[in-house]
Amino acid sequence: MASQNPDIIWRMKYYIWTEGCQMNVADSQRVASALEHLGYHSASRAEEADVIVLNTCVVRQSAEDKAYGRLSSLRPIKKQRPDLVINLMGCLVGVKGNPKVAERFPYVDVFSPPSDPRPLVEYLLRRDGRDLEQAEVALRYALQDEDLTLPAEERGNLVSAFIPVVYGCSHACTFCIIPYRRGVEKSRPPQEILNEARALVAQGVKEITLLGQIVDRYGKDNPDYPTLSGLLRRLQQIEGLERIRFLTSHPNWMTDDLLDAVAELPKVMPHIEVPVQAGDDEVLANMRRGYTAEQYRRLVEKIRARIPGVSIATDVIVGFPGESEAQFQHTYDLLAELKLDVAHLARYSPREGTVSARRMADDVPDEEKWRRFRLLEELQETIAAEIHAAYLGKTVDVLFEEPVRGRWKGRTPTNKLVFVESEADLRGKILPVEITWTGPWSMQGRLTQPA
């Protein structure tokens, strides 16, 4: 195909729709960076774009349905504008591809596995008749090394960023589709992670969150790599980096050494995300989680003893196959007892290819799943309100991220959401805030010193 006029290419725009986890957010960021190094600019609406990327999630049926809905909505746009490039990316494609989706949506031009912008970059360069060596340049600036460049709209504005440190997962809980869609567990080289962190800090980022399906297992697949605690100690040394977080942990891999690192390192925030998923031992065994409710209870006690003032978040699935009312009550009672800061709740939905979908009947009615979901939601609202109420009148350090509806949004070290009214530019600043109001989901306060 004949080469396009460079001036025309420079005016071309991209639009990225992202659904799902923080890993997808990080992946989309790198796709945007690669496109901008090819001369594309961000569009505010899909209808304005020359390249549309749908970065998808399939952890829940609702997320997969959203992806299908977005794909279907693009059909008339593609029909009107055949030159429009549609890129389907992420877990709906998976590491092995998805022929069924390709057959169902023949107007999709490029299919990309999770965390890989290369197929789209190479497609665009071939289409435009440009040298494929340029792909290496664009990808170098988009992938995870010292050359990482944030998209233009985020450069100097992004305060908190995600850094993937472990791709894929090899644990294979019976309900989880991630190992099938993102592949086996693979840790990234530590120097690559450190370089990326430095590059982000140089562009204004103050806080990084390390990501992994089981982030505690970082380095377990490579004897030459440090443990997660060792990686945290190296990141602690980066000048200009103010805060470090990590997620998601697993009860079986939360080591004393890791807890020591959180307790000892000033930049590592006292916030742990460690899912329980259920409070009944039989359900946990059916999920293939590898621990009991009592072991989880003891872990929470250990975390709180080692890290005073720590906040703990968990994940819970209601309505897992075979879950009886009594078994659900065990989960309810465990959450009521532990009083964790955050509980991410989900209703079970079978994912094609998983063990639970193949071998277990989805026998809890949807109405009952919703009832259990709402009971836990109400419980957690009460717990969170009580925890936040203890902050009233206290002064905490808040890292401010961005203005939202006339107020500045920020977070405490324990990841509590705080809003403050101020006409000053607070972006990226850590300032003491006296908490003047608390609710179950956020808090409000006032600055105790000039910004």
Cα 234 to Cα 198: distance, rounded to the nearest angstrom: 12
Among 262, 287, 318, identify where a domain stops. Answer: 262
Residue 326 forms part of a structural domain:
yes
Give every residue of the chain whose pLDDT is below 70, as ranges. 1-10, 131-147
Burial of 97 from C-beta contacts in 10 A (0-12 / 13-18 / 19+): exposed
Rounded to 10 degrees, the C-alpha dihedral 383/213/111/100 comes to -80
Cα 332 to Cα 378: distance, rounded to the nearest angstrom: 11
Helices (H) and strands (E) in the chain, counts: 15, 17
Residue 443 forms part of a structural domain:
yes
Q: Are residues 15 and 132 in the same domain?
A: yes
147 close to 196: Cβ distance less than 8 angstroms: no
Tell me, what's the pLDDT at 388?
A: 98
Residue 389 forms part of a structural domain:
no
Q: Are residues 427 and 368 in the same domain?
A: no
Instruction: Give the residues across from 42 on adjacent strands.
Output: 14
Residue-level length of the chain: 451
Q: Are residues 102 and 205 in the same domain?
A: no
Tell me, what's the pLDDT at 439?
A: 97
> Closest Cα to residue 31, out of 85, 127, 112?
112
> Closest Cα to residue 193, out of 220, 214, 165?
165
Tell me, what's the pLDDT at 7?
A: 43
Tell me, what's the pLDDT at 132?
A: 62
Tell me, what's the pLDDT at 423?
A: 93
pLDDT in tens, 94-111: 999 999 999 999 999 999
CATH number of the domain residue 402 falls in = 2.40.50.140
Tell me, what's the pLDDT at 129?
A: 75
Structural domain harbouring 62: 6-142
- Tell me the whole-structure pTM to 2 decimals: 0.92
Cα 361 to Cα 65: distance, rounded to the nearest angstrom: 21
Tell me, what's the pLDDT at 149?
A: 83
Among 351, 383, 415, identify where a domain stops. Answer: 383
Cβ-based neighbour number of residue 191 at 10 Å = 12
Residue 177 forms part of a structural domain:
yes
pLDDT in tens, 26-49: 999 989 988 888 889 999 999 999
Q: Are residues 44 and 167 in the same domain?
A: no
